[in-house]
Structure 1
Amino acid sequence: MNRSVRLLELLQILRRHRRAVSGQVLAEELGISLRTLYRDIAALQAQGADIEGEPGVGYILRPGFMLPPLMFSPEEIEALVLGSRWVSSRADNDLNDAARNALAKIEAVLPSDLKAHLRDSGLLIVGGERGSDGVIDASLVRRLIREERKVEMAYADASGRASERTVWPIALGYLDKQRIIVGWCELRQDFRHFRTDRVVTLTPLPGRYPRRRTQLLKEWREHVGISPPPL
C-alpha cells in the first residue's frame, strides 16, 4: 500500500469511529507501526484534516473535512482516466475538451507517484466511432436541460417525415454511435426519445417547463424500468 492510499484509508477508518480511537488500534488495522501512524496523522493534519488527539489518548476526526484531490486511490484514478477516454472518443468536442481539462486539474495536485499512474494507465477505449448530432449543437441541448427550458422541435421519423413538437428535454443519452434526447412530448402527452441526428430544427422557448426535471427524470426511469445510476 503506497502512502497516498494509506492516508486515504486512515481517514476512512477515522470516519467510522464517532469516539476517539487509540493509535494502537489504528496502526493494527492499517498494518503499520505506531511511529508510521503518528507521521501519517501529522501529514493529514498538515493537509487540513481536523484530527484531534495525541499519543496515549486517541484520535478523532471532526466533521466537515473534505478529501483533497491527492487522496484519489489508484482505482479511482483509473476510473477517471477510462471515463475521460470514453468521453474523448464518443462525445462532442466541448465535452472532450472539458474531460481533458478536468484531468489536467487533477494531475496538477496529485503527488508524483499518482501522477505517473494517471499518465501511464493501461486502460484503453477500443473501437467505436463518434456519433453525429446532425444540425443541432449538443452543448446547447445540455444547457437547456440544465435550465429546464422547453424547445420547439421539428423531428423526422425513420421515413423522413417531419413533425412539429414542443418538448421538455430532461436528459441526453450517449449511446455507442448515437445520442438520444429524452423528453416529455406535449404532442404525445408522454415521454419520448429523439435521435439527435433526426432533429431538423431545435428552437429554445422562453421560460422553464412547469415541472422539475428531477421529478420528470424519476418518472421516466419508472416508465422505462431503469434504476437510478449509482452515485
Structure 2
Amino acid sequence: MSRTERLLELLQILRRHRNPVPGHALAQELGISMRTFYRDIATLQAQGADIEGEPGMGYVMRPGFTLPPLMFSVEELEALVLGSRWVARRADDPSLGSAAANALAKIAAVLPGELRREVEAATLLVGPRTQPVDLVDARLIRDAIRQEHKLAITYGETARTIWPFAIGFFDHVRIVVAWCELRNDFRHFRTDRITAIKAVDERYPRRRAALLKEWRQTQGIPPDSGP
C-alpha cells in the first residue's frame, strides 16, 4: 500500500466512527507503527482534515472534510452505479431515481477519463420487479420523517397517528417504521395498505435518531456503523 493509499484509508476509517478511536487500534488496522501513524495524522491535519485527538485520548474527525471523488476505487464506483440503478427501479417516487442519476452524473463529471469510462460501462444490472401500488403519496411520508412531524393515517380501517422515522425498501414491499400512538409502541406499516394519509403540523416529542436507536434495540439489530 502506497503512502497516499494509506492516508486515504485512514480518512475512511475515521469517517466511519463518530467517537474517538484509540491510536493503537487505528495503527493496527492499517498495519503501521505508531510513529508512522502520528506522522500520517499530522499530514492529514496539515491538509485540512479536522482531526482531533492526542495519545491516550483517541482520535476523531469532525464533519466537513471531503474526499475528492476522483479517489474512488473501481469497486466503490460500481457500488454507486448499482445503488443508483436500484433506486431508479425500486424507489417509491420517480424523483428519487432522477436524484440518484443526477448525483452519479455529478460524480462522473469530475472523474478522470479512465474512471469515468468505468462508470459508463458498469455491468452490474438491476432486474425488474413487480412493485406494490401505493394509494397515497409516499413523498408525504419522507417529508414527515425529515421534519420529524406526525402523520395521521388510515391503515386498513383503523385511524392512527404515527411518528414515522424510517422507511424500509424490500423487493416486494415498502415498510414505514413508526411509533404508533394508538398502540403506544413501535409498529410497521406497509405503504400499499395505507389508504389515507394527512400531514400533521406538529413535531413528535422525540428525535428520530433516538427513536431509530431504540427501535433497533427492540428488534435486536446492531447499531448502525455507518456515518
TM-score range, shorter chain: 0.7 to 0.9
Match of 1:125 in 2: 126
Distance in 1 between residues matched to 2:3 and 2:90, nearest whole Å: 35
Q: Is 1:100 equivalent to 2:83 in the alignment? A: no
Deviates more, 1:139-148 or 1:123-132: 123-132
Distance in 2 between residues matched to 1:190 and 1:105, nearest whole Å: 42
Contact 1:168/1:209, CA 8 A, preserved across alignment: yes
User: Aligned Cα RMSD in Å?
Assistant: 2.4
Match of 1:226 in 2: 221
Larger-Rg structure = 1
Give, in angstroms, the shift of residue 127 of structure 1. 4.3
Q: Is 1:217 equivalent to 2:218 in the alignment? A: no
Please give the TM-score of this superposition, normalised by the length of structure 2.
0.74
Distance 1:199 1:13, change over 3 A: closer
Match of 2:176 in 1: 181
Distance in 2 between residues matched to 1:217 and 1:130, nearest whole Å: 26
Give, in angstroms, the shift of residue 207 of structure 1. 2.0
Give, in angstroms, the shift of residue 227 of structure 1. 2.1
**Percent identity between the two aligned chains:** 50
Contact 2:140/2:199, CA 8 A, preserved across alignment: no
Q: Which amino acid in 2 is paired with 1:121?
A: A
Distance 1:209 1:163, change over 3 A: same
Match of 1:111 in 2: 112
Give, in angstroms, the shift of residue 184 of structure 1. 0.5
Q: Deviations over 1:113-164 (max 9, x none)?
A: 00001111111123423332x22112221111010000111110xxxxx011
Between the two proteins, the alignment pairs up a number of residues equal to 185
Match of 1:60 in 2: 43
Match of 1:11 in 2: 7
Structure 2 residue matching 1:192: 3-state secondary structure: strand
Please give the TM-score of this superposition, normalised by the length of structure 1.
0.73
Distance in 2 between residues matched to 1:13 and 1:206, nearest whole Å: 44
Which ranges in structure 2 are unaligned for 5 or more consecutive residues? 12-26, 28-35, 50-64
Which ranges in structure 1 are unaligned for 5 or more consecutive residues? 22-50, 52-58, 157-161
